[in-house]
Amino acid sequence: MSGAGIDLGRSDVASLSDRERQDEVIRYLADARVRQSHTHTAPIAAEEAEKAGKFARFLARRYYRDRLHRSCRYSFLIAPQAAAEQVVDSAEFDAFLDQCALGSLESAVVVRDLALQRLGEIAAPGAWWREVLVYQGAFFLQAATSGRGDAKEMPRRGHSAVCLDFDWAIPQVLDRLKRGAAVDDSLRRPATLVFSRTAEGRIYVMEADAAAAAVFKALKPGIDVERIAGIPATVARETLASLAAIGAAVIDPVTR
């Protein structure tokens, strides 16, 4: 997992500003590995470490409970007795807290998988159910990832961004679930969605056309997007700019 504290020597610690010391406290609370390291530089006395650790667990449980609640509204409509956020009260989640790095993509993936495992035990109300869960999982990754990753190379995909192909017209399926309407086979048609999050924390779910899906899937450091097979250069440039605007692509250091 990313986000471990920087190992500072004693002289470096002495020269820290108060603002930098506060950052050390934040890193200590956010990342279990920092708390477990013997080299952390947070100004927390040994006799306060146990209380700080309790507070860190409180923060993490609260954070993921909130993000699951926000991200799994559609499965809750179908099965309110099995809300996704109940997973934060499980023994598996308790064990995860000892490795949790709040807001990291790696931790979000662990919690998503715990939640999907639990929701997968619900009797499927229709053939579209599995895809609703996949949609919620992808949305959750955006909602529960505040880190922006360490990669510096451009262009690349947004840190938590994903592009998924569905067999059902998921936006319409979700709209029907929200309205309490039946989901029938008329909605069984392919849809491709890009899930992303901007540096400011705004989450987007965009229906991707063939060009957007192709550009996103081709994104990797150093690629010349104007040479993606089958996509005119002008379209590729505009598509890349659109993906960058929603945090699905990173094309310059400013948008990181």
Partner 1 sequence: MPALREDRLSIGAFYNPHLAEELLRSDAVDHLAMADPPAADDAWFSRVQARFPLLLHDYLGQLADPLSSAQLARAAELQSRYRGPWVAEHFQCLHTANRSQSLDYVFPPLYTEEFLDRFVENAQTLRERVGAPLVMENIPGFFSVDHAQMSEGVFLERFFERSGCGFLIDVPHLWLAAHYAGRELREYLSEFPLARVVEIHVAGIEEDRDLEGPWIAPTLPPQEILDAAVWIAERAPDLRAVTFDAFSPSLTFDTLLEAVRGTRAAFGVQ
Q: How far is the CB of 91 from partner 1 (least distance, A)?
A: 13
Q: If binding is defined by CB under 8 A, does position 255 make contact with partner 1?
A: no
Q: If binding is defined by CB under 8 A, does position 15 make contact with partner 1?
A: no
Residues in the chain: 256
- Return the amino acid letter for 209: D
Q: How far apart are CA 165 and CA 195, in angstroms?
A: 11
Q: If binding is defined by CB under 8 A, does position 153 make contact with partner 1?
A: no
**Tokens standing for 110?**
């662990």
Lay out the sheet containing 203-207: strands in order across: 162-166, 191-197, 203-207
| Among positions 118, 148, 156, 197, the unique one binding partner 1 when judged by CB under 8 A | 148
| Among positions 1, 44, 78, 82, the unique one binding partner 1 when judged by CB under 8 A | 44
* E strand map for 33-186: 156-157, 162-166
Query: Which residue, 68 or 187, has its beta carbon nearer to partner 1?
Result: 68
Q: 67 with 140: CB under 8 angstroms?
A: yes
**Tokens standing for 66?**
């909130």
Q: If binding is defined by CB under 8 A, does position 52 make contact with partner 1?
A: yes
Q: How far is the CB of 43 from partner 1 (least distance, A)?
A: 4
First to last CA, the chain: 19
| Among positions 7, 12, 54, 221, the unique one binding partner 1 when judged by CB under 8 A | 54
- Return the amino acid letter for 176: R
| Among positions 6, 7, 51, 190, the unique one binding partner 1 when judged by CB under 8 A | 51
Window 66-125: residues binding partner 1 (CB under 8 A): 66, 69, 102-103
Query: Which residue, 17 or 234, has its beta carbon nearer to partner 1?
Result: 17
Q: 24 with 39: CB under 8 angstroms?
A: no
Binding region for partner 1 (CB under 8 A)? 3, 17-23, 25-27, 29-31, 42-45, 48, 51-52, 54-55, 57-59, 61-63, 66, 69, 102-103, 146-148, 199-200
